[in-house]
Amino acid sequence: MSELDELLAWSKAPVPEVLQQLQPQQQQEVHSWAKNLVDHETEGLDDLYNAIAMIVKYIPNFMVIPLMVEHIRPRIAAQVCIKMGIDQSTGYANDLPLEYFSKVSSHLDEKMMAQILTKMKRSQVEKFIIMALQQNPTRILDIASHLERPVLEIVAKYVVFPEENSELAISHHKPIIDKIRSMQ
């Protein structure tokens, strides 16, 4: 991965065109500066996420969920989920309001989301998939490539694909689209 690709992965915003015009050495210097800045500004956050994950283990979900939704931003909740692991994260995912869980999920990688969806209650999974297909269908396709068959069948139940020769159908998603189509 190039330095610019790594910067792009940190943020969903595109890398400014001016950075792409820099020489490779200059790009590396910008990357190094940005990495040092992020490291400095986020120092200690991993410890905080670990601490929150350990503390909430001992507090009932019915108390944690309202506090989480009202006071913890989705990106932070996602980082705590990563520290909690799949089983504990799934317990919260089943109880979180769908809108909030959807926002949290956007900050989790596709593989972790697939594992969480596999362990969630079917009714919650269906609601999430319906919402995600409306909000960001390519994200569901990214997740779908990691899903086990029972959950993939739920995706197949709700997804509607464009024509065979559309941009999406010939993208890197083609293998998963073909797999899902075969289940419909």
- Are residues 99 and 51 part of one domain? yes
CA distance 93 to 87: 10
Boundary residue ending a domain (108, 141, 163): 108
- Are residues 146 and 181 part of one domain? yes
The predicted pLDDT at position 169 comes to: 60
Decide: 162 and 169 in contact? Cβ < 8 Å: yes
CA distance 139 to 144: 8
Q: How confident is the model at residue 7 (pLDDT cuts 50, 70, 90)?
A: low
- Are residues 123 and 90 part of one domain? no
User: Quick check: is 32 in a domain?
Assistant: yes
- Are residues 123 and 64 part of one domain? no
CA distance 142 to 111: 9
User: Quick check: is 76 in a domain?
Assistant: yes
Q: How many domains does the chain have?
A: 2
Q: Kindly compute the dihedral angle of the four CA atoms of residues 9, 13, 19, 24, in this order, to the nearest 10 degrees.
A: 10
- Are residues 178 and 126 part of one domain? yes
The residue assigned the tokens 């997740």 is: 143
The larger pLDDT score, comparing residue 144 to residue 162, is at: 144
Reply yes or no on whether the pLDDT at 4 is more than 80: no
The predicted pLDDT at position 56 comes to: 93
CA distance 8 to 160: 30
Q: How confident is the model at residue 14 (pLDDT cuts 50, 70, 90)?
A: confident
Boundary residue ending a domain (44, 75, 108): 108
Q: Which domain holds residue 177?
A: 111-184
Reply yes or no on whether the pLDDT at 115 is more than 50: yes
Reply yes or no on whether the pLDDT at 1 is more than 60: no
Reply yes or no on whether the pLDDT at 162 is more than 80: no
